[in-house]
Amino acid sequence: MIRETPAELYERLVLGRYIIRRLLQAIPVLLGATLLIYAVVFALPGDPIASMYGEKRMDPDIVAIVREQYHLNDPFIVQYWYYISGVFQGNLGITFSNVPVSEIIAGKFQVTLNLAFTALVMEAVIGVGLGFYAALRRGRAQDTMILASTLVLISIPTLVTGFVLQLVLGVKLKQSTGIEVFPIAGVSDGWRSYLLPAFVLAGTSIAYLTRLTRTSLAEILRADYIRTAVAKGMPRRRVVGRHALRNALIPLVTYLGADLGTLMGGAVITETIFNLPGIGQELFRSVYERQQPVVVGIVTLLVLVYILANLIVDLLYAVLDPRIRYE
Amino acid sequence: MNMTSTPPLPAWGAGGPGSEPLLAVEDLHVEFATRQGTVKAVNGVSYSLYPGETLAVLGESGSGKSVTAQAIMGILDMPPARISRGRIRFRGTDLLGLSEDARSQVRGRRIAMIFQDALSALNPVFTVGSQIGEMFRVHQGMSRRDAERRAVELMDRVRIPGARQRLHDYPHQFSGGMRQRIMIAMAIALDPEVLIADEPTTALDVTVQAQIMELLAELKRESDMGMILITHDLGVVADVADKIAVMYGGRIVENAPVHDLYRAPAHPYTKGLLESIPRVDRKGRELYAIAGMPPDLLDMPPGCAFAPRCPYRQDNCVTEAPPLYRIGPTRGGACHYWREVLDGSHG
Amino acid sequence: MSDTVTPRSRRARHAKSPLRSPGGPSRGGPAAGTAGRPASLWNDAWHDLRRRPLFIAAAVLIGVILLMAAVPQLFTSVDPYDATSCRLGDARQAPSAAHWFGTDNQGCDTLARTVYGARNSLLVGLSTTVVTVLVGGLLGLVAGFRGGLPDALLSRVTEIFFAIPSVLGALLILAVFRTGTVWTVMLALAVLAWPMTFRIMRAAVITAKGQDYVVAARALGASGRRLMFRHILPNAITSVIVVATVNLGVFIAAEAGLSFLGVGIQSPEISWGLMIADARPRFLEAASPLLFPAAFLSLTVLAFIMLGDAVRDALDPKLR
């Protein structure tokens, strides 16, 4: 758009102010969450320096220098202050072995992000599709079957679906067909490596999204404006695919947006089962190696993802529902 | 697309023999399957509508007036609803016998409907321009630009100020009256032959009500459109309607030209309704209220549905359902004692 | 069945039916019905529940699992806590008459271990649910009822908790305790889960507070405490109970996950998650030591989620 009308300019200003306000509101959440995590990590038993050197005897002078360098002698809150001011400058700190945390996390974060995004796409496609199908056949056999399967899908923990699918789709399928359709471990097979773990990770969410889609679409199909669209002589395709869908998107987008954070944060079990070098596994390892900066860095990053995802959802929300205005 | 040359008709249904009704509902029965049993919402309703005529269908909630209208439009949810008997003839063709495809050719294009609550009846996420324009785009395959132009024309026609600027506004940005005008614009977009208005003013303020009724009357004057006005408010219909059908318990209990009915009702229920309207000439007198509750449609009494509440009730009312007695050439009343009621009304 | 016996659920279910009597919306609205008579609401719900296949299935399953947790001896004669019951030579046997579920990598009877594992799972699930309902529910009640500063503060605090990924958070908390037990797992889960109960309770209280009958009771001079415990709580608690039931299953799954990762319940205690972790290295050769606890875990979670679903449907038919 080359020239804006005054109304458009106004909209843009309002939107800008809204985003800034939302980001400001997110600061206490970020501070609070990181402080909590920092406190927990601070309370982790064991001395980080000692664990770094393992069983070796240490030169007390060197230990003192290292402790000083990492502010380990300062009170908790001061240490936190050093940390969080770094975060606001885009610096997640350095590990006790002098590697920037961001360097360690970057690759792992990419793996988890790939996993979560693949899961999110599967969730959106399968969940929304099944939900639509069920809502349009409400009360019939297909609907009941879909509902029953969502119940089962919700109930089977990732732990179980992970191993069962690994066995059935990964191993048995390969044995019977001779082709490795779904790789079962690692990320050496590119995007195919993510298919099975992403499905496992998305399982519960697929079921919830199916239910949410079904419920909200069924409710929307009973709305007065749908009756109006029918009375206007609109073909059923258009009534469902345009009038109903556009309204149904509102809760679905909200759910999907909020779920990105959940998927990333909940990926640790899936990563463990499928040996994916993601942040869940890294966090796990760092906890045991007492690499506190890495632990805090990972959680801080996930909190940021959560905050951003929510902001995006809010913005999309206002785009999808004209009744909502940025105040 | 409007009708061929129908001879001009007198104000109220000169439905004499020879002239073809635009729309005729014949012995319509509609049931709803519910967990408690079958609800008989409409039990043998018949009425007809001639071009240029306005029929008011009067009744309280649950009387079956809206269900009948939805059956005409073909927008009943089936199931749970089921049309168990009857015909709906539109220009001679039984709509109920048509395929869904043929039906949708009629819906919106030749028979249109407006609803009670325009806020919930308009889709909240689309602009009013696109909702009106959709009629042209879908039914006539018009381009977006042309459809918008037509939408503006329609908005002008229903007197929405600044139509051009408001084209891209959303329903929630309009007032109640303006929203109902948008509904009306949508309904008359393709010059329908029948317009069904289901309580079009119930959700509105009194002053706005009058404006909307005036608009409807005017639109009707400009065309040969027949209108079915569904309402529970006798006060609304007097100026607009040519004839009235009063419904109770899924049946028509009285139908009559509007003036006859106002002058002397032939059914105790109509009489009760008329007496419960505040009127200047009866100032000071206590307002009448019909005692009792509307009938339970799950468990309809064998006799007259109104009997439990009726001041004229005799023993046979409880056992024998009254047919629609022919009271005059264009008048019927479903009361065994319509003569007494009529006489009482004159007095 | 006359309309008065189960007025609320029936009428709400058929809100779309054409027979809305005059004045119907205010009388028949599910919210008004729920709000007005909590006692009859529960009666209705119970009446409704008893005839739901979903509820019956869930109740039977939960009954069996509870029995397993209370008296595991009823289901197996082997005591898996007795180290002599395992024979390394019998490791990874397929299911047989002697070992119905086969044996695991240590040669222990999988059936016995699976049966005995129910207790820890249920303990974690139940205790976490009780703690979250008490803490989150009480704080939510106060925040919703009082509003103002306590509400603002508590709401901010829960926002912070929502931002922390719960699996990782629980993992960290458990890492602080050197050894995982039922109680540390419970603590870790409860710390992260109470804000959810808080939110639900708070929202329900705020809704209940605005209902006509509460306003009326207030106008009639009911005291704050009476209002809170007699009028608001009984109505607001329904949504909390539904979520708590479902969460009970979720907590059980979470315990298994944490134990699987090695930060939850520790050997020699028995936990389904732990059994899955133990069976994992030889999983592809011997699946049954992993699949049986996995199946029991899934069935248990399923039972509670089904129960939650059934209760929700009975309490609020509109949500279906």
Position B92 in a domain: yes
Strand partners, B333: B254, B325
DSSP H or E run through A189: none
Task: Answer whether residue A147 shows pLDDT above 70.
Answer: yes
pTM for the complete prediction?
A: 0.79
| Residue indicated by tokens 């708070």 | C202
**What are the residue boundaries of the structural domains of chain C, listed by start?**
41-78+94-319
| A32 touching chain C per CB within 8 A | yes
Please indicate, yes or no, whether residues B141 and B286 belong to a single structural domain of this protein. Answer: no
Number of domains in chain B: 2
* C-beta atoms of B134 and A225 within 8 A: no
Asked if the model's pLDDT at residue A272 lies above 70, the reply is: yes
A201-204: Cβ within 8 A, 24+ apart? A201/A115, A201/A116, A201/A119, A201/A158, A201/A263, A201/A266, A201/A267, A201/A270, A202/A119, A202/A120, A202/A122, A202/A123, A202/A126, A202/A263, A203/A153, A203/A156, A203/A158, A203/A161, A204/A153, A204/A154, A204/A158
Cα B137 to Cα B157: distance, rounded to the nearest angstrom: 19
Boundary residue ending a domain (B132, B160, B189): B189
CB contact under 8 A, A230 and B109: no
Residue B41 forms contact with C (CB below 8 Å): yes
Domain span at B133:
117-189
Q: What is the mean pLDDT of residues A217-222?
A: 87
Query: How high is the pLDDT of residue A53?
Result: 59
Q: pLDDT per residue over A312-323, tens digit each?
A: 888 888 788 887
Could you tell me the CA-to-CA distances from A155 to A107, B325, C127, C294 in Å, in that order?
32, 65, 20, 11
Q: What is the mean pLDDT of chain A?
A: 82
pLDDT of residue A58: 67
Could you tell me if residue B17 is inside a domain? no
What single letter denotes the amino acid at residue B133?
Answer: G
Residues 262-321 of A with CB under 8 A from C: 262, 264-266, 268-269, 272, 280, 283-284, 287-288, 295, 298-299, 302-303, 306-307
The percentage of chain A sitting over the pLDDT mark of 70, rounded to a whole number, equals 89
Contacts of B297 in chain C (CB under 8 A): 18-19
Range with the poorest average pLDDT among A37-51, A246-260, B78-92: A37-51
What CATH number is given for C41-78+94-319 in this structure?
A: 1.10.3720.10
Which pLDDT tens digits describe chain C residue by residue (320 residues)?
A: 333 333 333 333 333 333 333 333 333 333 333 444 555 667 777 777 788 888 888 899 999 999 888 888 877 777 777 777 777 777 667 777 776 777 777 777 888 888 888 888 899 999 999 999 999 999 998 888 888 898 889 998 998 898 888 888 888 888 888 778 889 999 999 999 999 999 999 988 888 877 777 777 777 777 777 777 777 787 788 888 888 888 898 899 899 888 888 888 888 888 888 888 888 887 777 788 888 888 889 999 999 988 888 888 787 655 44
Q: Are residues B227 and B312 in the same domain?
A: yes
Chain C interface includes A39 (CB < 8 A): no
Q: Is residue B159 part of a domain?
A: yes
A185-189, A257-261, C246-250, C306-310: least confident range: A185-189
Give residue C39's pLDDT.
Answer: 59
| E runs forming strands in B50-105 | 54-58, 81-90, 93-94
Residue matched to tokens 């993802």:
A305
Same domain, B309 and B164: no
For residue C170, what is the enclosing H or E element?
helix C166-176
Determine the residue of chain A that is closest to C263 in CA distance: A284
> In angstroms, rounded to a whole number, what is the distance separating the alpha carbons of residues C116 and C68?
7
**pLDDT at B3 (0 to 100):** 40
The domain boundary, picked from B158, B189, B220, lies at B189
Q: Is residue B50 part of a domain?
A: yes
What's the pLDDT at C4? 33
Same domain assignment for residues B157 and B273: no
Q: Which residues of C190-205 are buried (b: 16+ CB within 10 A; e: fewer)?
A: bbbbbbbbbbbbbebb
Q: Is A217 exposed, middle or buried (0-12, 13-18, 19+ CB in 10 A)?
A: buried
Query: Same structural domain for residues B96 and B234?
Result: yes
pLDDT of residue A148: 87
Per-residue H/E/C for B149-181: HHHHHHHHHCCCCCHHHHCCCCHHHCCHHHHHH
The complex scores an ipTM of 0.82
Chain B hits for C18, CB-CB cut-off 8 Å, are 32, 39, 41, 62, 64, 66-67, 297
Which of B36, B41, B60 minimises the CB distance to C18?
Answer: B41
CB distance from B108 to chain A under 8 Å?
yes
At residue B159, the pLDDT reads: 84
pLDDT of residue B234: 78
Asked if the model's pLDDT at residue A93 lies above 80, the reply is no
Q: Is B251 within a domain?
A: yes
- Give yes or no: residues B62 and B128 share one domain: no
pLDDT at A230 over 60: yes
Nearest to A238 among B115, B138, B170 (CB): B138
Q: Which residues of chain B have pLDDT under 70?
A: 1-19, 278-289, 345-347
The reported pLDDT for the residue numbered A327 is 59
pLDDT at position A47 over 70: no
Q: Which two tokens stand for residue C140?
A: 């939510």
Of B135, B157, B189, the domain-final residue: B189
DSSP state of B121: H
Domain identity same for B175 and B204: no
Indicate whether B180 belongs to any domain: yes
Q: B141 and B39 share a domain?
A: no
